Amino acid sequence: MKISTAESVVMGALWAREPLSAEDIAADVAEGQGWSDATVKTLINRLLNKGAIAAERDGRRYLYRPLVAREAYVEAESQGLLDRLFDGKLAPLVSHFSQTGALTPEDIAELKKLIEGFEP
C-alpha cells in the first residue's frame, strides 16, 4: 500500500495517539501544513479507502485508528528509498551522507554502536 507524504502526516497524528476524530486530526495537523479541514477529511477518506485506517462510530462522529503499524510503514518506505536511489544497498546511502557532511559526530558514534552489535 502506498501512503502519500500528505497522508503520512495524518497517519503520524494517529500513530501519536489514537483514536482521533476528524476534528482532532485537523487540530493536530491542519494549521502546520496550511490545510483546511476539508483537505484533512479528504486525506482521511483516502486512507480509509486504502485500508490504512479504520473508522468506528462514536455518537454523531467517527473515531479513526491506524491499521498500518508505524514500524511497517517506516520499513517499507526505507526499503523503497534504498531500492530507488541506492540499488537496495545501505552502504552507499551512509557513504552519501558522510560525503555531504550530513553525519554528525553523534550520528557516527551511534552507527559504530549499531555495527558493533552485529559483529560476533
The tens-digit pLDDT sequence of the chain (120 residues) is: 899 999 999 999 999 999 999 999 999 999 999 999 999 999 999 999 999 999 999 999 999 999 999 999 999 899 999 999 999 998 898 888 888 887 889 988 998 898 888 876
Joined grid coordinates for residue 24? 482532532
Host domain of residue 105: 89-120
R_g of the chain computed on alpha carbons: 18
DSSP symbols for 27-87: HHHHHHHT--HHHHHHHHHHHHHHTSEEEEEETTEEEEEESS-HHHHHHHHHHHHHHHHHT
Total number of domains in the chain: 2
- 6: its cell numbers: 500528505
17 with 56, same domain?
Answer: yes
Tell me whether residue 22 is in a domain: yes
Look at residue 47 and tell me if it is in a domain: yes
